């Protein structure tokens, strides 16, 4: 039976949700780590509801945190065994996230065109893995400080919207990231582009494994465009 997950929510500022943004947190954190991002975007996206579920597994590396899948011990991101472990872990976690998204969309009376996925680090891996494989494409996918899991399996990335287009993707990464080097963003963008999945990117200068105000601003404007929301007038 698929595990059930839940987490903190922010209701739409307008009082009526017309869009849904799902945050997927990083390894060793939980849903509380990202839900505050919604506060930054509530003025830009007043009709968006935000939800940040806690991952279904306890984290061995951080006992008070959660994980979408276990990380390989003492192996770098380029290690072939680590890559296979990430793929296996993402495949196992995908049904849990899909079921949660389906329930949230049904609760709010929304369809896939009103959905966006936004993940950080391991959550960015899952946002890409899940979003590209939904039965219908979400409005957009944002990945902060992550990498692409299973690039050799992008033939599975068949999510398309009503017009037959894949979901727009934005990758954001700090150029001083010591955990997942910024090169992972450029590699992922190239791999996605080669699979006809056009991808935008933004590099946050001087930022490590985290999210800065510039990244938040870019992501918010990207989501507004993806949802067809007019940006605020300056």
Tokens at 115, concatenated? 């959905």
Residue 234 DSSP SS3: coil
Tell me the C-alpha distance between 126 and 146, whole Å.
Answer: 9
pLDDT tens digits along 72-100: 754 566 676 789 999 999 999 999 999 99
CA distances from 91 to 68, 133, 140 (A): 10, 11, 21
Lookup: tokens for 98: 């899909």
pLDDT value for 62: 84
Distance CA 170, CA 185 (A): 10
Q: Say what angle helices 122-131 and 80-108 make with each other, to 10 degrees.
A: 70
User: Taking the domain 9-227, which CATH number applies?
Assistant: 3.40.50.1820
Cα-flanking dihedrals φ and ψ of residue 199, to 5°? -135, 135
State which H helix or E strand residue 120 sits in. Answer: strand 115-120
d(CA 76, CA 47): 41
Instruction: Give pLDDT tens digits for 2-13.
Output: 899 999 999 999
Q: Residue 76 has what pLDDT?
A: 60
Backbone torsion region of residue 228, taken as left when φ is above 0, otherwise alpha when ψ lies between -120 and 50, otherwise beta: left
pTM of this prediction? 0.96
**Taking a C-beta distance cutoff of 8 angstroms, is the pair 77, 181 a contact?**
yes
Contacts of 71 (CB under 8 A, 6+ apart): 27, 61, 82, 85, 122
Is-contact 24 117, C-beta < 8 A? Answer: yes
Low-confidence ranges of the chain (pLDDT < 70): 73-78, 80, 232-234
At residue 193, the pLDDT reads 97
Burial of 128 (0-12, 13-18, 19+ CB in 10 A): buried
115 vs 143: CA distance, rounded Å: 15
What letter does residue 180 receive in the DSSP assignment?
Answer: S
């Amino acid at each position: 039976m698929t595990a059930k997950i839940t987490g903190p929510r922010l209701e739409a500022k307008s009082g009526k949700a017309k869009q849904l943004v799902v945050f997927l947190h990083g390894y060793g954190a939980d849903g509380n780590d990202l839900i505050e991002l919604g506060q930054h975007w509530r003025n830009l996206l007043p009709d968006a509801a935000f939800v940040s579920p806690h991952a279904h597994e306890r984290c061995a590396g951080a006992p008070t945190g959660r994980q979408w899948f276990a990380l390989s011990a003492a192996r770098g991101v380029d290690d072939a065994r680590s890559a296979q472990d990430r793929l296996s872990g993402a495949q196992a976690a995908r049904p849990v996230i899909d079921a949660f998204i389906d329930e949230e969309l049904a609760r709010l009376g929304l369809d896939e065109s009103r959905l966006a996925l936004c993940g950080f680090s391991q959550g960015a891996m899952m946002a890409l893995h899940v979003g590209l494989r939904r039965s219908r494409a979400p409005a957009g996918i944002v990945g902060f400080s992550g990498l692409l899991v299973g690039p050799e399996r992008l033939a599975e990335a068949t999510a398309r919207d009503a017009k037959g287009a894949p979901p727009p993707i934005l990758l954001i990464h700090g150029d001083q990231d010591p955990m997942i080097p910024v090169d992972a963003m450029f590699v992922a963008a190239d791999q996605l582009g080669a699979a006809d999945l056009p991808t935008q990117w933004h590099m946050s200068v001087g930022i490590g494994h985290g999210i800065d105000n510039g990244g938040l601003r870019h992501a918010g404007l990207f989501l507004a465009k993806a949802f067809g929301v007019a940006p605020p007038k300056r």
